[in-house]
Amino acid sequence: MAEFSFIDEELCGLERSDMLRRLRCIESIRGPAVRLTGDAGEKILFCSNNYLNIAGDAKVAEAVIDAVRRYGYGAGASRLICGTMQGHAEVEQRFAEFFSAESALLFNSGWTANQAVLTTIPQEGDLVLLDKLDHASVIDAAMAGKATFRTYRRNDPAKLEKLLADSRFERKFIVTESVFSMDGDRADLTRLVELKKKHSAILIVDEAHAAGCLGDSGAGLADELGLLDDVDIVVAPLGKAFGATGAIVAAAKNVTDYLINKARGFIYTTAPSPVNCAALLAALEIVISEPQRRQSLAANCEYLRTRLNALGLDTASSTSHIIPVIIGDSGKTLAVSSHLYKRGYFAAAIRPPTVAAGTARLRISVQAEHTKVHLDGLANALSEAMRISAHRQP
């Protein structure tokens, strides 16, 4: 439409600078193998957050079919009107136990949960301290909130300590991801707990990429480090290892009561489907009763990272199932991704502004069900693609 010609100009600019994004449609998923619309061949997926292959699990499908027969699909109203059903209550109770918290509250997404927590709990006169590489949902939420916010670099604890020592603020909050979504490294939670205790701060941890995958019981990095009792608020988006949608906020009962009363992203939205609650309960059961999925994921990561490093590829500081391969230039990254695609591997290019300028990358995410054949195949195809792209002009 002519009225939107200003948008066309901007889209052309994005295309010229290799920054245009397009949707790709997946038609079927069988384990790590997928089929995309318009393409006859199967691709091995290396960019999904379905780390434990729970999204396509038969037990989840059975639970969903049973729930849809019993409840239909939609909740029909917001939680506070008449949208709260048995499934929501059960999910909240089971996830509170899982995260060793007094209480838990279910949100429609991780984005909404971070918005709700950071625009509701920190007040005017408070200070919110964010890791520079926290997820966009955390940064945007802090920007939308009433508290002052500052960022710190996670390899610069002295800066964080200095910010915490500022006595002008009523309360201080430290907000971090546990496993960082683009670099795949881990926050130094032990140090953050020390600092929060020393400065009487409140620690909020987004376990999006660790919940389900790390820890003896699968509750995330805080669980792995024995720090569950020291984290004040856990935000756990459930669209990743748990293979469904939604997010849990696990905290003290007065915190979740406050969110129920004050958080606009909880109050003014239709409740999550009871069918999604059934999927979440089935997924939680798998996470608790099948630790072998976590073990297989960890072994696959170790194997692939070692192979990629042996090829001289830059996997940054990754220590998890998210393994970035830093390429730098966006055009080269697109070329590498498209070469992999032709060879049967789907690993999307991640470009600015999702990551910093000059650090475009493939964000390889590993799954429990990847086989050695998948991992070796990817490593070989990547090595070939990098050789070819080295001759490409930026």
Ligand X SMILES: Cc1ncc(COP(=O)(O)O)c(C=O)c1O
Residue 264 CA to residue 146 CA, distance in Å, equals 14
Expressed in angstroms, the distance from the first to the final Cα of the chain is: 33
239 binds ligand X (CB under 6 A): yes
Considering only 135, 172, 294, 363, the residue that binds ligand X (CB under 6 A) is: 135
> Which residues make beta-bridge pairs with 78?
270
Considering only 204, 205, 211, 247, the residue that binds ligand X (CB under 6 A) is: 247
Print the binding letters for residues 18-57 with ligand X: x by CB under 6 A, - otherwise: ----------------------------------------
Token pair for residue 231? 């984290």
88 an active-site residue? no
By rule CB under 6 A, what count of residues binds ligand X? Answer: 13
Please give the residues from 80 up to 109 whose contact with ligand X meets the rule CB under 6 A.
109
- DSSP letters of 86-120? HHHHHHHHHHHHHTT-SEEEEES-HHHHHHHHHHH
**Which of 88, 135, 172, 370 is an active site residue?**
135
**Which of 48, 49, 114, 320 is an active site residue?**
49
CB of 109 to ligand X, least distance (A): 3
Beta 247-251 vs 103-107: how paired, if at all? antiparallel
49 an active-site residue? yes
Residue 279 CA to residue 274 CA, distance in Å, equals 9
CB of 269 to ligand X, least distance (A): 13
CB of 338 to ligand X, least distance (A): 24
Listed in sequence order, the residues at least 6 apart from 266 whose beta carbon sits closer than 8 Å to its beta carbon are 79, 105, 107, 112, 116, 259, 260
Query: Which has the closest alpha carbon to 95: 212, 285, 250, 283?
Result: 250
Report the 10 Å Cβ neighbour count for 309.
Answer: 13
342 an active-site residue? no
Alpha-carbon dihedral angle through residues 118, 186, 105, 138, given to the nearest 10 degrees: 20
39 an active-site residue? no
Residue 52 CA to residue 57 CA, distance in Å, equals 10
SS3 233: strand
Please give the residues from 286 up to 305 whose contact with ligand X meets the rule CB under 6 A.
none
Smaller CB distance to ligand X: residue 126 or 206? 206
CB of 379 to ligand X, least distance (A): 25
181 binds ligand X (CB under 6 A): yes
209 an active-site residue? yes
Please give the residues from 113 up to 132 whose contact with ligand X meets the rule CB under 6 A.
114
Q: Are 207 and 222 in contact (CB under 8 A)?
A: yes
Query: Which has the closest alpha carbon to 210: 189, 186, 232?
Result: 186
Considering only 131, 185, 206, 232, the residue that binds ligand X (CB under 6 A) is: 206
**Which of 131, 134, 177, 224 is an active site residue?**
177
289 an active-site residue? no
**Which of 240, 332, 339, 374 is an active site residue?**
240
**Which of 92, 183, 206, 369 is an active site residue?**
206
285 an active-site residue? no
CB of 239 to ligand X, least distance (A): 4
CB of 24 to ligand X, least distance (A): 17
- DSSP letters of 301-333? HHHHHHHHHHTT---TT--SSEEEEEEE-HHHH
Please give the residues from 324 up to 383 whose contact with ligand X meets the rule CB under 6 A.
none
Q: Which residues are catalytic?
A: 49, 135, 177, 181, 206, 209, 240
Residues that bind ligand X (CB under 6 A): 109-111, 114, 135, 137, 177, 181, 206, 208, 237, 239, 247
